[in-house]
Each structure stands twice: as structure tokens, then as C-alpha cells.
Structure 1
Amino acid sequence: MPVPPQNADPVRDARELHRKGKLAASANHYPAASRLLRKGIARLDASGVNSVESLEVRVRLLITLSFCVAETRGLEEGLNQIAVTRESLSAMPPGALRDELESLANGVHGVLLFRVGRIWEGIRYVDLDVAYHEAKLAQTTDDPTPVVNSLVTTLSNRGNAFGEIYQFDKAVRDLNRAAELAVQYDMPMRAAIATHALGNVLLRAGDVTAALRRYGEAAKTFQEVEPGLLLRLRIDQAEAMIAVGLADEAGRQLDAVLPDLRAQRVGQDIAEAEMFRAIAALHEGDLITAQRMAKAAQRKLAQRGSPAWAAIASLIILRARALCAIGTHRPTHRPPARLVERALSLAAELAALKLHEHAALAHVLAARLEVRRGNTDRAAELLRSVPKSRRFSPIDHRMLLRLCRAELALAQGNQRAALAQAQAGLAELGRMRDQLGGLELLSGTSLHGRELGELAVRLVLAAGDSPANAKRLFTWLERTRAQMYRYDPVESTVDAALGERIAEVRQLSRLLLRARLDGAPTAELEQRYAAGQRAAMQLGWSASPWGKPRPVATADEVAARLGDRALISFASCDEELVAVVVVDGRVRMVRLGAVEVATEAARKLHADLNALAPDHLPPPLVEVISASACREARKLDAALLRPLADMIGDRELVVVPTGALYVVPWGVLPTCASRPTTVVPSATAWLSSSRVDRDHGSGVVLVRGPGLAAAQGEIERLAVLHRDAKLLGVEEARVVSVLEALDGVELAHIAAHGEHEPENALFSRLELVDGALFAHEVGRVRRPPERVVLAACELALNRVRPGDEPLGFAGALLAGGARTVIAASSKVGDQPSAAAMADFHRALATGAPPAVALAEAVAVDPLRRPFVCLGSG
């Protein structure tokens, strides 16, 4: 064993090791911190020094080690370490130093109790810590910074704990004071930690938008000062994403942070991340991943001595198993009794841990299983034991309770009560949606109401095909689909940070494109690009509410506006495709057979049209692909429109697709050849876009992006038709210029390369000379353009979220208030695009409505001109 130098000071060395250990712990490097702290303790042990100063340093080392041990070896071990610390502390002589160390020990002891779910017990210790520091701050005449630093930390910890037990007023009080003190004494890091904690409290209180705003504020400081703290924040952000239905985005975020958490061996955070990853998978219907992740989390949490968290992980496992047991809607299937027993025993366990919201959910699961088992009396008894949902109850818990009540009513033969529960649940979900900002959030919430909506649609379909029932089905479809298009956008200020972040994403997009063209490695750039997209999107989430909600359109209102046109609203339920047809003031329902027939033909047609898009394909290849595309188009026509021929005649059509039908270029189908056809996300959206009392824009702008040889002649020809148009050539068509030109214009034509972003539809883009123009940006133009023509590839409504919430470049324009958008539903060659646009604008210049003009243009060569008219025709 090395002999320390004679002039070495063991107490000083141990104090320095404590300083380094605290730094490592603050960066979440707990194993490294533990090694440094143990080395300091060993240094004191070897020295034999037994002064008050050495005892002080030992206690400081032990206090910090207690927290690190809890993170790496389990909370029970951490609590044992605190007990050892208190033994050393008792040897300290009474006085100010002992009071200070006792306060530190109380703070850590309280936090460890918080982590095992013993909140009230922990608060008693932390109250002592707060009282000590408040008194110290009031009395100190020296530099108050160290006292304020400790007080801010303690207030933040207590505020977070109050939030866990729904004491929101106390939580906000503590966290606001912590943040104010940190700002007052120039402690940006402490202010960010308090702000992060305030976000957690607001999330539990049900204010998701405010929570996301606080997370964004904290993330900015963490990124600049201590990036290691971003990992914990990303877990909490993911929980908020799940709350608003963005389970897919939450899953991607957690998949990104879990490797780093595992590398740092942060036990509690790893387990919580796995638990929320399980919840995300549960909402996406991936029950295998849900159970795997929840079991991994449950094992870790049990080993760490965290019974409350372990019980919550067990509840997620139960939810996945219950869904597996409930399965499809086979009336003969009975879930096993042991699953009900497990739900009830878990409910008792959760209640004993004072996790009342989760205990209620376990009772709901037991009741739902009993309904499926045919034990309706027992199910009703269980539901009576479930307390009324509170305002801050998680929305998915509230929707599951509504669903269970509806299923019970249905099992008891009370369809009216079942539909009333569905309607009340969707209305509750709508009130939450009304408070959200950003199209992603608006579209995501439908995930939570999906099963309620499906139940209602299934009930209506089971009641028969009468005209009255067709009208009821129309109403339910409007309540359950494309809710993000049910808002009149309100003007909002542009967030500077969001603008900067989008500019960064634009620059990364250009670098990525250049690297691909040069054949250079792109993995790192792709990661940075995806991370930039996520960061920009998350900044948009904390914006003010997107708009004012409009009432759901009624069949009578739509019929009155249609005139001589016919509206077809497609829907699917239990693998069956159905159409609701509104024509001549009548509403009728037609069952169209298996949905898979139509969706498979739609996918194949889409693939064929993409393959047919390039300008210079060999003629034999064109012939083969065209024959295949025509074959699939005829199949689609037979599945979707021919059964409706007697109803629709030769009328213009307004079509509301569902699922995979959003990629259909309707002009390719024989029934729609030369027929004006408008595609809309919902009848409510169509009614709004076709309102005659809307403000009209003025002027025409023609935009040409780079890399389109055919576009120069295209724009010149269009300029002859629109003599007063504003022209933006390749060099003039920059992002800012194009956005300014779109503001308040009557007609905008943009000829540019476009690309749909499948993982993040609001970052679908048009390529301009200075970078990408994103869908995210066009949706917030102050005065939306009246009509927009996107002479580019596949920028229609290409991504469909649960609840038939279509997203994409065109979708952002429509949701932002544009009346009509012309866009391609698949890839399109430069030459046929230019030719189609010339024909379209010639017809438009003669006064033809957009749907009529486009029908004539597409009919010339439908397979090479896969454009659709979206919005109002």
C-alpha cells in the first residue's frame, strides 16, 4: 500500500475528493462519484485523525455517498447508508456546524424516502431542512449564495414531492419560490432545475401545455450548462407526450435516451424510462414490447426497494395482459378469472401505497374483464367503487373509465347509455384538445379516444342501414375523425427560439442533402437532423392554443351546402368498409365489404404510380407498370365507387377517405375520370373551407424552386395567364420571401422539389434555394393563402394518425386556414407535373373552380398526373 507523503493533509485530501465526488454526482456519474467518495473515507480511516474537521468531512462524504449508493445499488441500501451517516453525525459536538450537517442529512434522507414513495415521511425531514435554511438566510450577514443554493434545492425537492401527492398549490408555491430565489441570486442552473420540477407538477395537474413550456425553458439551460441533466428531463417530456397521445414520438425519444442512461447506470431513471416506454408501446398496440419493458422496469424497481414505482410497473403489465385477454370483439372469448383476481390484489396493493389513481385504474381493468366474462353485476359493483375522475386524473385513465362504463351499459342492453358515455368521453377529450398548441398535439389526442369512437361506430353499424341510422353514423364519424381540422386558427406571435431552431434544422437539411449527393457518410448528420426536428417540434408544443374550435357539422348542414354535389365519407370498423353518402338532401349507408381489399389495392396503386413517376423510363417498362396501375385502379373503383353509382350518378364528389385511402389519386379511378373530386379530412373541415363568408385573399404569386428543368418554362407560361402575378425565381424564392408572399395571397403556385417526412409529417418540405420550407412553418402564416398549388411530389395528406388525423404539407396549409390545396398524392415527374399545371391554370383562368380545372388536367394522363384537390373544390 503506498505511503502518503509526510506533508500530506488527509483531511484536505478527503475534502477535495468530496468536491470531485459531488461534481460527478451532479452530472449523474454515480459509480465514479461513489469511487471518489469511498476513497475519501478510506483516506480519513488510514490517517487515524479524529478531529472535529475530519469528522465533518467524513459526514459530508457519507451524506453524498448515501445518495449515490441509492442510485447505483438500490434505495434500501441508500437508506441504510443514511443510518450510518447519522451515527457519525451524532459524534459531532453541538453547534452551528452540526446543525448544518444535520440539515444536509435531513434533505438527502427526505429525497430518498420520496424515491421509494414514502412521500409524507420524506416531507417531514425536508421540512426541517427548509426551516433551517430559511432561518439561516434571514440571519446571515455573509455571502448568502451557499445558503440560497441549498434552499433552492430543498424547495425544489419538496415541491416535486407535493406534486406527487396532488398537493399542487403547495408544490407550485415551493417551486416558484425556488425559481425566484435562483434568478434573484444569479443561479441559472438552480432556476432551471426548479423550472423542470414545476413542469412535472403542472403535468400531474393536467396542464400539459404549461408543463411542456417549462420543460423547454429548462432544457435550454441544461443544454448550455449541464447536458447530463437532459436525460431526466427527456423522460418527463416523454410522459407529457404520452399524455397528449404522441406515443410514437415518446417511444422514439425514450429509445434515444435509454442507452445513455444505461451507460451511466442511473438505476431509478432507467427503470422509469423503461416504464414509460412500456406505456408508449401499450398505446401503440405493441403489447409484446409493453410487457417486456414493464417487466424490466418492475424488476429494477423491486430490487431498488421502490415498492410504489414497482407497483405502477406491475399495473402496466396488467394492462397489457388485460388487452391481450380482451383481444378482438369475439363474443365467445372469456378472459381468465385469475386475471381479475390479479387486478383486484394489485388494486389493494396500490391503495395501501396511497396510489389512489392507479388503484382506481386497476379496479376499472377488473371491471372491464368481468364485463367480457359476462359477469355484469360484479362489473357494476366494481365500477361503483371507482371514485369520480378528478380534473388532474390522466386522460387515458378517464377515457378507459368511460370505455368500461360504455361496455358495461352495452352488455346490459342499454345502447343509449353506452353511446352517452362515448359522447361524454369524446367531449372531455375535446376540452383538453382545445387548450393545446401545435398541430402535432392536436392530432395526437385522438389516440386516447380511439376505442370509444370505435365502440360508438360499431354500435351504430349494428343497428342497421336505415337512413336515420346512416345520419347517426355520419354524426359519429364527424365526432371521431380529423379533429385537428375543426379549429379556426388564431393569430399568435412567432417564438424567436422556435424560429432559430427551425433555421438550424433547415441548415442541417442542406448539409444532409449535400452529403448524400457527394456520397459522404450521413449517419451523424441524420442523428443531428432528427434531434433538431424533435427540438423544434417540442418548442411548438408549448405555444398558445392553436385555434377556436368549431362545432361538428351536421348532415343537414352539409346537405344544404352540397347542392348538386355528392359527399362520400368512408369508414372502417372490424375489418369492414362502409360509406356514408350524402346526396340530394338524403343520407344513406352502403357496406362495401372487406377493408383489406381496398387498402391493398390502394397501396399497390400508390407503389405503381411512384414507380411510373420518373421522366425517362423505357417504354416497355412504362407499359408494364401502367397495366398494373390500371388493374389496381379498377379494383379500387369496384371496391369503393361502383357500388355507389346509382346514388352519385355523374355528380361532382366530395370524398372523406379513411386510413390507406388517403394516398389514392381519385382521378385515376374510372368512375372519377374527368369528374371534379375534392378530398377532405372531414365533412366539418369541408363545410368550413367552403364557407362563402370567409375573407378572400388577393393577388397571385408564382414560385420556382431549384433543380427543376421544366419549371422555368412552366412559370413563364403561367405568368402569361396571370399577368399581374408576382414572380419569385430560383434566387428570389427564399424561405422568408415565400412565406411573406403566401401571407394573404389569393393564389400561390409553387413549383419545387418536395419530400414527405414519414416520421415527422410537419417537417415535410419544399426545397428552395436557401434550404427547406417546412410544413411546420406554412401552417402559421398570419393570413392563410386562399388557394395553393404544390407542383411537387407526394405532399398531400400522406401520414394518418389514429383517429383518421391526416398530416403532411398540404394538411398544415389546410389546418392553417387555406381554402384549397392542389397537391400530388404520390411521386410525379417534372415534365408531367409542368404539363398538368399548365392545363390546370388555363382552365382556372377561364373561371373554372379548382376541382373542375384539376379534373380536366388530370384526365389527359391520369397515371402520370396523380394530383388531388384538397379542401374546397
Structure 2
Amino acid sequence: MDADALHALALSRPADALRIAREVLAGTPSDAEAAAAHHAAGLVHRDFGDIGEAVAELKAAYRSIRKTTDRDRESEILATLGVALVMGGQTERGLAALDAVVPGTTGVLAGRLLIRRAWVLGALLGRYAEALADAEGAVEALADTGDLVWEARAFHTRAMVLLAMGVVDRADEDFVRSEELFLKSGQEVEYADARQARGAAALARGDLPTALQILDEAQQLVEELGVLEPDLYANKCLMLLAAGLTHEALVEINTAVERNEQQRGSDARHAELLMCAGLAAHAAGAYELAERRSLDALKLFRRQQRPWWAARTELALLQTRFTRGRRTAALLQACRRVSAELDALDVDLAAEAHLLTGRIALARSDSAEAVRHLSVAARARKRGLRARGAGWLAQALLYQDNGRPRGMLAACRQGLSLIEIYIRTLGATELRALATAQGAELAAIGLRFAVEKGSARQVLDWSERWRATVLAIPPVRPQSDNGLVADLAALRDLTQRMEDGHDRRPGRSHLHRERERLEAAVRQRVLLTPGQIDGRRERLRVAEVLEELGERTLVELVDLEDQLYAVVASRGHVRLRAIGPTSAATHSLSHALFALRRENARRGKHELMLDTIGARLESALLGDTLQHLGDEPVVVVPTGRLHAVPWSLLPSLRTRPTSVVPSAAAWVRAMRAEPPPVDRVVLIGGPHLAAGREEVRRLAELYPDAVVLADGSATADAVLEAIDGASLVHVAAHGTFRADSPLFSAIELDDGPLTVYDFERLKRAPHRMVLSSCSSALGGPSGADELVGLVSALVALGSAGVVASVVPVSDPATVPLMLRLHEQLRAGDGLAEALARTHDSDDATSQSFIALGA
């Protein structure tokens, strides 16, 4: 095999190339053959193994080639050695080697050498202007030469530099061209690298679903080839962090760090992985680990003389220290220095650095320093998406420090609108919910101002501004994907077999591993759902809420820095009440839910005093806000942490119709929702429910025209078809809430669980729905103050109202309760009114249900 073919093989099928190189060296090769074999082995070790061994192999290649008369090959090997030296931390020696071979060369050789130096200058050292000049020269030198592999590398290198400089569209064009050429020439690893780089370009455009999809394809390619591509895992970590998937990012990047350490890989790549691991640990709240990872990466980058990477890593380190509560003069001085360094290296990162410096200065009461740095950061609000977010936050803080509340609030609104545009680019509910965390601080600034001012209307307005944001955006159904449907069906079948076999031991069998694989596949397919940009979110004015309320009372809870407030709106008046510590309310709620669970299960020798427990919970949640009101219906808007309150347990709400909603705007939308044109009732009875068959049978007597699915006919396909667009659906079936993955919360049917992912495939959710068993009202907190779960999915899809329980309930006790509820519904009551008429002050079962929506 000739030198060029072996070189190409080293970057397409490294294991095969290393084997062939070893076979060549084991014989009696000529000097040229030995040089080619050592060169190939050095390439494999440099990119996929031990950088020390790579340098040793490349030095051996250089010694062999110097014994020949092939000066072009000698230049190439010396250039490859130069790259390896820089990657190993010997930056000056490596650059000297590259600078020694580039001058005086022309044609294909010049292109090959320029690519190597451009890659070092751009990817490793962040010297983008110099890197772009070399990359442009390489593209020009290699165009139309017929050397497809090196022409592809030239386009790829130029694309990499352009992307780093923010020229995304031109970069993507070059990535596409490099992909085509790598594919045509059979360079599989480099093709995968080009694919993952296109994913980075998609992320830079703000198209996260496309970025994730491309990266998944690239990862599958390299895993099939059995190689470790650090760039891919670093980019995947950054994409997962952009998506808010912090746990997944931390797991992925820590795995890559460990694999790179085990394989004694490139020091340069190891430093990059460590930096990403620090970012992931910070996002996951593991601040000690984040600081340790960032410090290790920073030491490597400084030793490798890579200023851009060092500045970026030090910024991450300083952000972690600030988050941990440090406000020292030394921290301020370090941030000031890093901001200056990034001004010359990366203007977008510089905006984040100046924002951090300004915040530290504010915390230290150094107003002049704060204004100087926040002003620089604020100017970035007209640039890229990431810089614009930092810019609007800086502008808000600047106005706040200057005592200009109108400007501060306007900046907060602009920043939130920007984030909302980004949220609309996402199709997956999970990603949308997570993305709201980006606006939490801006929303808190506006809310804090309103509370300090004591303006109840402004508190309500700012509370609504960033509450239940995901529900205010039209949902995006998962793409019509036979693979998704097949995976959901396989997951149902597998779960059913596991339940029938009574094997619930986690991680003990291949069935559990297969379930984990299927769940991961389902989740991944849905995460790739693209968003739909369909105009601005319609804002609901406080006056509209008051008009819609009529004789009702709205109680909206607000959690600000662990202090609970209640906004009470009734008969055109809006009042603000300070309640007490949020932690006290969550503690009382935990006690109440424990009591209800115990009473429903009929456990314990002594009967708990539910009246007393309910009174304590009311005091912690509402204070005296309801004592001066009449008996009119109440609409309650809890916070995410308090979403599972059993409101009928509270003495003031026991007999009062109470609607629970994620936001006042969501309640107004539910009130205005048009019922289906055809009045269709669906009754569903799942398996293994003690009184389920009796419950469905007796309800069928109330609704003689209802569609009944029970006794084996309640399968997923049949249920989804029946409930799509139904006016009223009653489900008597066991259910599960998955705190670890709320979208896999499910209702148990005859052929297995029907998950939230299944419900999201509905064209139109049922207008009203009653879930008579299981903790179906529970959701998983996510993002700023969002909930992800079965009920929130139904509301997002258009359900006007749902009755569900906040704790597991007694099956036999549920039957008479449900019959009374449906009798009231048939008499014309709404869900909240019907549920209020069924409440029994001595019955834990009736007090476990809440009415959500209208």
C-alpha cells in the first residue's frame, strides 16, 4: 500500500491502518515504506490514542524519510509532527516546525501544509484571522486537482474557521462540500466529523432539533467504526447544555473524559473535554466538580499556549465561583482581566465576561465599575442569540442600577421576547420547558420590582409574563414517524411482559436494559421535532382576566426568593398579600400529602386529623387571603413547586368550586375553548383495577351512547382513536408518575402503558377528561416554573378541563365519588362545581382530587 493510501486509511479506518503499519514495520521495509508506516501509526495515535506515542512515531517517520530524496514527503511528515507537538502542549516547537515547511511551497503540497497550520491556528490556538488566510490559500491551491480527500479537508478547515468567526451560512456551505467529497472518497471518520460540524453550524443558527439530529447520525457513524472522536463529544455536550439537558450532557462528557484518559489521548483534546465537563457540571449544580474540571483544563490550556481556550475556560471557572457566592476583590480583578482578553479574541464571549464583571461589581457596591462593564455587555444585544441574551440582561441591570425602572422593565421584556422566539424553534415539550430557565432571571427582575413597589396589578402582570410559557405556545405534534410509533408499541409490549412476569428489579435483566434502550429511542426521536414559528404570543391583559372572572376570585401564588405572595383578584379589584416562607408551605404540603396517602391506603392505627392538617396547610399557603371573601368560586394559580396541593383539604375551599390552573392566561383560554361539534363520551376501563369494571359499568348506565373500552378492548390504538376530539373521557385505570422522566408517566391499558408521548400524537385532546385513579395530577418541575406530565400535556393539547388526583386513592371508595361527579356533570355543572358538590369533609378520597382548567 502506498504512503497516500495508508495515510488516508489512518483517518478513515484507523484500526486497519495501525495493523497494516505494524505488519510493514515487522518486515524489512525500505526507508520510504518505514516512513509511511510510522506516519500512519502516528496519525492513528494522534487522533485516537496516545499523543506521546504519536510524537514518537512521527519522529521515527521523519528520521526515515530524511534518508530518502522525497523532500515533499519530508515536509508533510514534519508538518504532521508539528501538529502533534502543539496538541501535546509543545506549542512553540510545533509552530516552528509548521512555519519551517510552509514557505516556498506551491500546488497540492502547499495546500496540504496550509491546512495543517490553519487547523492548529484556528482549532487549537484561536488565532482566526491567520487561520482563515491559510485556509483560503489551501482551498485555492487544492481546487480542481483531483485530490478529493485533501480538497475536502481544505473546505472543512475553512468552514471550521468561518464558524468560529460567526460566519455561519458560508461555513455551512463549506461543510456541505466537504461532506460530499469525504463521502465520495470513502473517508468515513472524516465524513462523520464533517457531519458533527454541520450540527454545530445548525446550533449556531439556533436550530437545536436539527443540530441534535445531525450529531446523533455522526455519533452512530464513529461508534460503528469503534473510534473516540473528542470533538464530537465536546460538541454534543454543548448542544445538550443548550437544550437544558444537563444530566445527559454531564454523563456524556464524563464518559468521553474517562475514555480519553484510558486511551492516553491528545492533551489538547483532553483539555477541551475537561472544559466541557466543567460547563456541564456547573449547569448540573455540581459546582465543586465544575471548579475542579475547569482548573485542570485551564492549566493545560495555559501550558499549551492556547489563549482563546484558556480565556473561555477561565470565564467558566469565574462564573462557577460567582455562583458559589464568592464576591472578592480578587474575583473582580480576574474577571476584569478575562473580559479584556476576550475583547480581542471573541466578542460574544466577551459580552458574557463583561456581564459577569458588572454583576460582581454591583455585588461589591462598585457602581462605576459595574456601569463600565454592563455597558459593554449591553451593546451585544444586537448580535447573535447567545450574546443578545447576555446583552438584554446587562441592559436591565444597568437601568436598575441607574434607577430607571421603565428602561429596566422594557429590557426585561425584550430579553424574554428573544428567548420566546428561540423556544418556538423547538418542537419537543421537554426542550421548550427547559429553555424557559434562560428567562428566569429577567422575569425575576420585573417581578421583584413589582413586589417592592407593592403594585398588585404589576405583580400579576409579571407573574403571568413568564408563567406556563410552554402552554401559551401552540404545541407541535411529533413528526409522522413510523419509527416512533413502532418504538412506543414495542415499549408497551415489553413493559406489559415485564409486569406479567412480576420482574420489577431495576437493572437485573436484559428486559430492563431493553426498556431503557427503547425509552431512550423514543425520547431522542421526539427531541428532534422541529418547532413552528407562527407569530408572536398573544398577551393577555389584566383587565381581560378580571372581566372573564366575573363573580369568581383569582388567587395567584408567587414565589420570589423563598417568599410566598398571593395576588387576589375579585370583582375588579386586585390585592397583594405577603404569605410567608415558601419553604414552610412546601413542608406543610408534604405533610398533607403524606396524610392523604396514608388515609387512602388505610394504613396506621390512628386516624389522622385531616381538618387540622388542612387548616395548617391553608395558613402556610394562603394566610388570611380568603377570610374576607364571599363564597364565590375560586381560580387558583399555584407555583410549580406547589402544583400538587389538595385544595379541598383547605377549610375555606372545601365546599367552594375551585379550579386549578398553571396560569391565569391558561384559565382564560380554557374558558374560551370551543367544545367539539359532536357530543361524544368515552369510558375506559384498564386492567388490574379492583373496582374498575364496576365503575365503568355503572357509568355506562348514565351514558348509554358512550363508547366503552374495557375488558380487554382498552388497547392503545383503540383508546387514542376513541378519545381524539371527544367531548368527555373517563379513565378508570392504574397510572404511574415518572419523576425521573415525566413524559413517560402513563396510564395502564390492556396492552401496556399509554405514555404522555402517545397523548402528544392526538390531533385534538379531549375537551374534558376525568382520571379516576393514580396520582395523575402530578407533574415534574422543569425550566423556570414549568410542569411536564400527563395533565400539562393534555392542557397544552387543548383540553379545557381535567379531574385528577394528587395521591394514590382507594379504588372502592372512588366508585361512588365518580358516580356523584358524573351525575353533577350531566346536570350541567362544570368540573370544579361538580367536584365541589361531591366532597365529603371526612373522606380522604374526595379530598385527593382536584379540578384543573375550566
SS for the counterpart of 1:655 is strand
Match of 2:384 among 385, 393, 407: 393
Find the aligned partners of 1:741 and 1:755 in 2 and give their Cα distance. Answer: 22
Match of 1:355 among 341, 346, 349: 346
Find the aligned partners of 2:783 and 2:372 in 1 and give their Cα distance. Answer: 33
Find the aligned partners of 2:143 and 2:591 in 1 and give their Cα distance. Answer: 70
CA displacement, residues 161-199 of structure 1 (integer Å, 9 cap, x when unaligned): 211111223212211222344566777765543232122
Tell me, yes or no, if structure 1 residue 780 matches structure 2 residue 761: yes
Aligned AA (1:242): L
Aligned AA (2:132): I
Residue 330 of structure 1 aligns with which residue? none
- Consecutive unaligned residues of structure 1, counting only runs of 5 or more, are 138-146, 327-334
Contact 1:41 1:58 in 2 (8 A): no
Aligned AA (1:805): E
- Once the two structures are aligned, what percentage of the paired residues are identical? 27
Tell me, yes or no, if structure 1 residue 342 matches structure 2 residue 334: yes
- Superposed, 1:429-444 pairs within 5 Å as 429-444=419-434
SS for the counterpart of 1:135 is coil
Contact 2:351 2:390 in 1 (8 A): no
Find the aligned partners of 2:78 and 2:813 in 1 and give their Cα distance. Answer: 75
Residue 110 of structure 1 aligns with which residue? 118
Aligned AA (1:623): H
Match of 1:623 among 597, 606, 611: 606
Residue 134 of structure 2 aligns with which residue? 125
**1:861 Cα deviation (Å)?**
5.8
CA displacement, residues 89-135 of structure 1 (integer Å, 9 cap, x when unaligned): 99xxx99xx96555444323322222221223223333343334322
Decide whether aligned partners of structure 1 residues 568 and 393 sit closer, same or farther in structure 2, where only a CA change above 3 A counts.
Answer: same
Contact 2:230 2:273 in 1 (8 A): no
Tell me, yes or no, if structure 1 residue 791 matches structure 2 residue 772: yes
CA displacement, residues 824-871 of structure 1 (integer Å, 9 cap, x when unaligned): 222334334445434333332333322222333453764234554454
Q: Output the aligned Cα RMSD.
A: 3.7
Find the aligned partners of 2:353 and 2:392 in 1 and give their Cα distance. Answer: 14
Find the aligned partners of 1:3 and 1:153 in 2 and give their Cα distance. Answer: 27
**1:580 Cα deviation (Å)?**
0.8
TM-score computed with the length of structure 2 as normaliser:
0.87
Residue 263 of structure 1 aligns with which residue? 262
Match of 1:371 among 351, 362, 365: 362
Aligned AA (1:522): R
Find the aligned partners of 1:300 and 1:178 in 2 and give their Cα distance. Answer: 31
Decide whether aligned partners of structure 1 residues 379 and 641 sit closer, same or farther in structure 2, where only a CA change above 3 A counts.
Answer: closer
**1:636 Cα deviation (Å)?**
0.8
Aligned AA (1:259): E
Residue 142 of structure 1 aligns with which residue? none
Contact 1:219 1:233 in 2 (8 A): yes
CA displacement, residues 762-812 of structure 1 (integer Å, 9 cap, x when unaligned): 222223343332212312311222122233422324212242211111111
Match of 2:577 among 585, 590, 605: 590
Aligned AA (1:134): A
Aligned AA (2:49): Y
**1:655 Cα deviation (Å)?**
0.9
- Superposed, 1:272-287 pairs within 5 Å as 272-283=272-283, 287=287
Find the aligned partners of 1:413 and 1:562 in 2 and give their Cα distance. Answer: 36
Tell me, yes or no, if structure 1 residue 578 matches structure 2 residue 565: yes
Decide whether aligned partners of structure 1 residues 180 and 348 sit closer, same or farther in structure 2, where only a CA change above 3 A counts.
Answer: same
Contact 1:787 1:819 in 2 (8 A): yes
Find the aligned partners of 2:58 and 2:621 in 1 and give their Cα distance. Answer: 76
**1:687 Cα deviation (Å)?**
0.9
SS for the counterpart of 1:544 is coil
Find the aligned partners of 2:746 and 2:24 in 1 and give their Cα distance. Answer: 67
Match of 2:530 among 519, 522, 544: 544
Contact 1:780 1:816 in 2 (8 A): no
Residue 331 of structure 1 aligns with which residue? none
**1:584 Cα deviation (Å)?**
1.6
Match of 1:489 among 472, 475, 478: 475
Aligned AA (2:48): H
Decide whether aligned partners of structure 1 residues 407 and 102 sit closer, same or farther in structure 2, where only a CA change above 3 A counts.
Answer: closer
Find the aligned partners of 1:695 and 1:80 in 2 and give their Cα distance. Answer: 75
Residue 633 of structure 1 aligns with which residue? 614
SS for the counterpart of 2:403 is coil
Decide whether aligned partners of structure 1 residues 380 and 523 sit closer, same or farther in structure 2, where only a CA change above 3 A counts.
Answer: farther
Tell me, yes or no, if structure 1 residue 604 matches structure 2 residue 591: yes
Decide whether aligned partners of structure 1 residues 537 and 272 sit closer, same or farther in structure 2, where only a CA change above 3 A counts.
Answer: farther
SS for the counterpart of 2:620 is helix
**1:721 Cα deviation (Å)?**
2.1
SS for the counterpart of 2:626 is helix
Contact 2:579 2:623 in 1 (8 A): no
- Superposed, 1:438-587 pairs within 5 Å as 438-464=428-454, 469-489=455-475, 493-503=479-489, 506=492, 509=495, 517=503, 519=505, 521-522=507-508, 529=515, 532-545=518-531, 548=534, 550-587=537-574
Decide whether aligned partners of structure 1 residues 641 and 170 sit closer, same or farther in structure 2, where only a CA change above 3 A counts.
Answer: closer
Tell me, yes or no, if structure 1 residue 305 matches structure 2 residue 330: no
Find the aligned partners of 1:762 and 1:818 in 2 and give their Cα distance. Answer: 17
SS for the counterpart of 1:211 is helix
Contact 1:238 1:253 in 2 (8 A): yes
CA displacement, residues 445-490 of structure 1 (integer Å, 9 cap, x when unaligned): 22122122222211111112xxxx2111111100021100112335
**1:576 Cα deviation (Å)?**
1.8
Find the aligned partners of 1:734 and 1:232 in 2 and give their Cα distance. Answer: 45
Contact 2:676 2:725 in 1 (8 A): no
Decide whether aligned partners of structure 1 residues 84 and 493 sit closer, same or farther in structure 2, where only a CA change above 3 A counts.
Answer: closer
Decide whether aligned partners of structure 1 residues 3 and 205 sit closer, same or farther in structure 2, where only a CA change above 3 A counts.
Answer: closer
SS for the counterpart of 1:590 is strand
- Superposed, 1:76-115 pairs within 5 Å as 76=90, 80-81=93-94, 84=97, 100=108, 103-114=111-122, 115=124
Find the aligned partners of 1:852 and 1:165 in 2 and give their Cα distance. Answer: 60
CA displacement, residues 387-422 of structure 1 (integer Å, 9 cap, x when unaligned): 622555353x54444334333433333323322222
TM-score computed with the length of structure 1 as normaliser:
0.85
**1:243 Cα deviation (Å)?**
3.0
Indicate the larger mover: 567-576 or 531-540: 531-540
Decide whether aligned partners of structure 1 residues 43 and 109 sit closer, same or farther in structure 2, where only a CA change above 3 A counts.
Answer: closer
SS for the counterpart of 2:568 is strand
Find the aligned partners of 2:612 and 2:561 in 1 and give their Cα distance. Answer: 27
Match of 1:717 among 674, 698, 710: 698
Decide whether aligned partners of structure 1 residues 285 and 192 sit closer, same or farther in structure 2, where only a CA change above 3 A counts.
Answer: closer
Find the aligned partners of 2:85 and 2:494 in 1 and give their Cα distance. Answer: 42
Aligned AA (1:811): S
Decide whether aligned partners of structure 1 residues 192 and 768 sit closer, same or farther in structure 2, where only a CA change above 3 A counts.
Answer: farther
Find the aligned partners of 1:156 and 1:226 in 2 and give their Cα distance. Answer: 21
SS for the counterpart of 2:503 is helix
CA displacement, residues 682-727 of structure 1 (integer Å, 9 cap, x when unaligned): 1111111111546556422222333323322222222222222223
**1:535 Cα deviation (Å)?**
4.8
Contact 2:562 2:581 in 1 (8 A): yes
Contact 1:196 1:214 in 2 (8 A): yes
Decide whether aligned partners of structure 1 residues 752 and 368 sit closer, same or farther in structure 2, where only a CA change above 3 A counts.
Answer: same
CA displacement, residues 413-433 of structure 1 (integer Å, 9 cap, x when unaligned): 332332222222222222222
Contact 2:206 2:385 in 1 (8 A): yes
Tell me, yes or no, if structure 1 residue 204 matches structure 2 residue 204: yes
**1:749 Cα deviation (Å)?**
2.4
Tell me, yes or no, if structure 1 residue 405 matches structure 2 residue 395: yes
Contact 2:42 2:57 in 1 (8 A): no
Find the aligned partners of 2:368 and 2:76 in 1 and give their Cα distance. Answer: 60
Decide whether aligned partners of structure 1 residues 582 and 156 sit closer, same or farther in structure 2, where only a CA change above 3 A counts.
Answer: same
**1:351 Cα deviation (Å)?**
2.3
Tell me, yes or no, if structure 1 residue 756 matches structure 2 residue 737: yes
Contact 1:371 1:408 in 2 (8 A): no
